[in-house]
Structure 1
Amino acid sequence: MTKDIKKWWNEVSKSYQIDSKIRTKSAHYGPYSPDEKKLKLLGNVKGKKILEVGCGGGQCSIAFAKQGAKCTGLDLSKEQLKHAEELAKKEKVSVKFLKHDIQTLKGIKSKEYDIVFTAFALQYIPNLTKCFKEVHRVLKRNGLFVLSLDHPFFMVIDTKTNKIKRSYFKTGKIEEIDVWPDSSKHKFVIYRRKISDIFNSLTEAKFFVEKIIEPLSKNAKSWKWEEIYPKELVKLVGPTIIFKTKKK
């Protein structure tokens, strides 16, 4: 994880949590995607040990805890974790939140978890294969690894013109400058990959890919960030992709 990503999330956390309004009734997967209650990818989590990688404001871990799971949430942003701890207290559930590098998982016990879950966090990871090997290490035998990311097809489109803005094959580190409403500028770093890159990293880390889901909720309401996820474009190309995998 780069210092730029950590800095960006510490700066944006408060406004992001206010704007996103992510609920804690069921784990979410991404923009315009049905939640876990509808997709049922994890099954009954009661009594299961779950590690959420890149937990952000903690909403998914809290949702799992409400269903009886024993959850640990990792994130690099102290501001995101502060929100997560306050929200867990408000929701009256117990979740262990840790400030941690989500690429290496150093210090996390091997073969400790039944499920590893991550939603829209891995686009900030420089080395995906390294991360997946660490996830494999901390999972129990036959453990589930369910992950969602922004859909690589959606990310090549200019949301203002609905035209392709860059090659699908242009992958790797991308740096952008975000201009906020107060005219301040903030450096934003993200890593772009093809679907095959994600799939191949999973298989290299010895995961069996059970399903690839490209969801779109028919009842989805417009998100706060209409300029990022225009509803008319979303009808053509869904912004979320999900992989359900199992440790071999």
Structure 2
Amino acid sequence: MPITTWRNPTPVVTHLSNRPYPRRVEITGEPGATRREVGSHENLRASRSWWDLDADNYQAEHGDFLGEVDFVWCPERLREADANLLGDVRGKRILELGCGAAAAGRWLMTQGAKVISLDLSGGMLRHAKDQNLSSGVPLTLVQADAANLPFGTEQFDIVCTAFGAVPFIEDSARVMREVHRVLKPGGRWVFSVTHPMRWIFLDDPTEHGLVAVHSYFDRRPYVEYDETGAATYVEHHRTLGDRLRELIAAGFTLVDLVEPEWPPGHDQTWGQWSPLRGRLFPGTAIFCSVKS
């Protein structure tokens, strides 16, 4: 299945971790991390380059957990087959944003949906294309921008993403408006992100990550940079209230906010997610909304 490429330059990536950062970082000719504002072009370069370069490592580390044909919402291992957050998908036209290797899109196809899976990163879509072949599920893949969706109005019944797109675009409110535009009336928009409260902690799955050290209200993005000071990775924090206001302003009605609990017997650590932290506070927030 060929990949359709659209020349839209806003980062759309899939990632399952907000990272630790020092309280102060000076640009001294060495790579590092900080909290600072970034422009859209710098954000674009960093996100697209990061995921193109990291695609192989990401898939090698997390591919078994995500599977080739499965819809896993989060590191807590909540599956759409069990949660049914999208409802009955048979015959529905679905757009998956920030798809990565697109295991979720392929699973939705096996449930009778008509699916397009979209990502900015050619590196991640290369894995999606390979898994289309190995799984025998011919999912349509599009390389494009979640903030400038290359589709007409009211084209989809459902739009969804598991940790894709939303945290990696500086104007996430625009993503909400674009999703609203392409959804049919009454259409469903469901997305998972790192739970906003996790941003007050270090990205540490051990007991050292249980102490609050950062302000929940610091909305400056987390930025990793190279020796020249140029951003190489960018992720954005929004509070729960921010997310709700973005949805409402775009014309959505929130119908559920899911905070998955850590399931018994799940002993796998994924970045900052671990059984220790998962038993104490949520790591993921899943926003379920409908187009008003």
Is the shorter-chain TM-score for this pair beyond 0.5, marking a shared fold?
Answer: yes
The answer (yes or no) to whether the contact 1:19–1:224 under 8 Å persists in 2 is no
Matched, 1:174 2:222: yes
Partner of 1:7: 49
The answer (yes or no) to whether the contact 1:156–1:167 under 8 Å persists in 2 is yes
Shift of residue 155 of structure 1? 2.5
Give the Cα separation in 2 of the matches to 1:218 and 1:177: 36
Q: RMSD in angstroms over aligned alpha carbons?
A: 1.7
SS of the aligned residue for 1:103 comes to coil
Q: Judging changes above 3 Å, is the alpha-carbon distance between structure 1 residues 18 and 203 closer, same or farther for their aligned structure 2 residues?
A: same
Structure 1 regions of 5+ residues with no counterpart?
179-185
Aligned runs of 1:20-31 on 2, under 5 Å? 20=62, 21=64, 22-31=66-75
Partner of 1:38: 82
Matched, 1:97 2:145: no
Partner of 1:111: 154
Matched, 1:83 2:131: no
- Bigger relative CO (Cα 8 Å, ≥ 6 apart): 2
Shift of residue 145 of structure 1? 0.5
Partner of 1:183: none
Partner of 1:191: 236
Give the Cα separation in 2 of the matches to 1:67 and 1:76: 25
Shift of residue 154 of structure 1? 1.6
The answer (yes or no) to whether the contact 1:32–1:220 under 8 Å persists in 2 is no
Give the Cα separation in 1 of the matches to 2:161 and 2:193: 9
User: Normalised by the size of structure 1, how large is the TM-score?
Assistant: 0.91
Q: How many residues align?
A: 239
Partner of 1:72: 116
- Residue type at the aligned position of 2:223: E
Partner of 1:123: 167
Higher strand share: 1
Q: Which has the larger radius of gyration?
A: 2
The answer (yes or no) to whether the contact 1:33–1:220 under 8 Å persists in 2 is no
Q: Where in structure 1 do 4 or more consecutive aligned residues deviate above 6 Å?
A: none
Give the Cα separation in 1 of the matches to 2:211 and 2:220: 21
Shift of residue 221 of structure 1? 2.2
Aligned runs of 1:128-207 on 2, under 5 Å? 128-158=172-202, 159=204, 160=206, 161=208, 162-176=210-224, 187-207=232-252
SS of the aligned residue for 1:62 comes to helix
Give the Cα separation in 2 of the matches to 1:164 and 1:217: 20
Shift of residue 24 of structure 1? 4.1
Q: Judging changes above 3 Å, is the alpha-carbon distance between structure 1 residues 18 and 234 closer, same or farther for their aligned structure 2 residues?
A: same
SS of the aligned residue for 2:236 comes to strand
- Residue type at the aligned position of 2:52: N
Shift of residue 198 of structure 1? 0.6
Partner of 1:215: 260
User: Normalised by the size of structure 2, how large is the TM-score?
Assistant: 0.78
Q: Judging changes above 3 Å, is the alpha-carbon distance between structure 1 residues 163 and 14 closer, same or farther for their aligned structure 2 residues?
A: same
- Residue type at the aligned position of 2:79: D
